[in-house]
Structure 1
Amino acid sequence: MSKRDPKRLPHDFHLWTAVASTIDPLRRKGLLKMGNVPLPLPVEEPPSVAVTKAPPKRQAPRKPFLPPYQAPLPSANLPERAVDPAIRKKVGRGRIEIDGRIDLHGMTQNEARSALHGFIHARFNRGDRTVLVITGKGLKTDNDYIAAMTERGVLRTMLPIWLNEPSLSPMVSGWSVAARGHGGEGAWYVRLRRL
């Protein structure tokens, strides 16, 4: 520890002197014995009267400022058109080949929707049967903490709605979440109908 220079005053010495001038020093035992300073007499408090308070009024429970956010579930009001589980298993294991892929990462909803429409139309006219649509992360987490999952991505939520639109619905027979090897929760297998 370094020693202070006794000649140098601290930068807040003026503050210390201002505070110290407002304080009365403590009495020393020696002064009390000498009788120089009389002891203060104890002050008697008037007897307290018991005051009864009225019981507190019951307050109505507070309503939250805003209800907690819940992501819309598009599958609740849309018909479920899942890919046959046997076909999905074969595609996931690589026994049925994926005919085409489209990655919608980094696109806005309008860009992704128009790209998906063009891709599905082109693949359907070509005669392809199974395509992979990559929408991005399946689950969004706060600070990469797995227990703090909040909501699914926007493109992932919108994909079933877009596939149910009248322009794509006649071409699409079903869709399912992809296997881990193909992107897991962030990708979809889309099965197209035959021409």
Structure 2
Amino acid sequence: MVRRKHRKLSEDDHEVWSMVTQTTVPLHSVKPFNITFKPEPERAPLAKKPSRQMIRPLTQIGGMRPEARVTVNLALDPMKASETSTHQMDRKNFDRLRKGKIKPDARLDLHGLTAAQAHSELTAFIHRSHSAGKRLALVITGKGNSTRVDEGIMPTRQGILRHSLPHWLNRPDLKPKILQITPAHAKHGGGGAYYVYLRRTR
């Protein structure tokens, strides 16, 4: 392989090179990147886990074991309260009513209804019966169970309709239409029903 000989620059070449070097603008030098590292913030120390001695099983609520059965002394039975209350009817008709000798003109069965539904049905029934000139209405609530209370933190009264009905009938919208409230005779439901004797329409 034959090596090429270096050719010497002529005067013209030197002149051209000199012009090039005079007109060439040098490139800007690249500045190095300025990288800074911020220190990580200090982490708060983790809370210590409670020891086993601090954790106690929840076995008592309000001083009562959850497996214990609750017995609550409920208020006076509304049936007994109705029997001992003063009667507004004349004595003769009241005795006939208590002995089941007066046939009811209207009948309402509240079995299977919630308290809200029963209250609404009862209100409409009393207004309707009074407007129609009925005198004796029979309202059946069912006996329920006034001595047993469901297990749990918040006891639930049994026979809520039976206990609530006298209070509903004594509300201002119904009381003026009613002359007497008393437990029904056994042949009309006994302790699970009420006689509601209505006033005469004016």
- Residue 65 of structure 1 and its aligned partner are, at CA, apart by 3.9
How big is the alpha-carbon RMSD for the aligned residues of Structure 1 and Structure 2?
3.4
State the partner residue of 1:177.
183
- Residue 190 of structure 1 and its aligned partner are, at CA, apart by 0.4
Amino acid at match of 1:97: K
User: 2: distance between equivalents of 1:88 and 1:64?
Assistant: 49
SS at match of 2:181: strand
User: 2: distance between equivalents of 1:193 and 1:158?
Assistant: 21
Q: What TM-score does the superposition give when structure 1 sets the normalisation length?
A: 0.54
Preserved contact between residue 74 and residue 158 of structure 1 (Cα < 8 Å): no
Q: Which runs of 5+ in 2 are unaligned?
A: 1-61, 149-156
Out of 122, 131, 156, the residue aligned to residue 128 of structure 2 is 122
Q: Are residue 191 (structure 1) and residue 197 (structure 2) matched? A: yes
Preserved contact between residue 144 and residue 160 of structure 2 (Cα < 8 Å): no
- Residue 71 of structure 1 and its aligned partner are, at CA, apart by 2.2
- Residue pairs, 1:7-156, within 5 angstroms: 65=64, 68-73=71-76, 80=85, 82=87, 84=89, 86-91=92-97, 93=99, 95-137=101-143, 139-140=145-146, 153-156=159-162
- Residue 173 of structure 1 and its aligned partner are, at CA, apart by 1.2
User: 1: distance between equivalents of 2:144 and 2:186?
Assistant: 11
Higher Cα radius of gyration: 2
Preserved contact between residue 131 and residue 189 of structure 1 (Cα < 8 Å): yes
Say if 1:177 and 1:162 are closer, same or farther in 2 by CA, change over 3 A.
same
State the partner residue of 2:57.
none
User: 1: distance between equivalents of 2:164 and 2:135?
Assistant: 22
- How many residues in Structure 1 have an aligned counterpart in Structure 2? 125
User: 1: distance between equivalents of 2:183 and 2:72?
Assistant: 24
Deviation track 1:1-42 (CA, whole Å, cap 9, x = no partner) reads xxxxxxxxxxxxxxxxxxxxxxxxxxxxxxxxxxxxxxxxxx
State the partner residue of 2:166.
160
Preserved contact between residue 177 and residue 198 of structure 2 (Cα < 8 Å): yes
Higher mean C-alpha displacement, 181-190 vs 64-73: 64-73
- Residue 181 of structure 1 and its aligned partner are, at CA, apart by 0.5
- Residue 137 of structure 1 and its aligned partner are, at CA, apart by 1.5
Amino acid at match of 1:185: G
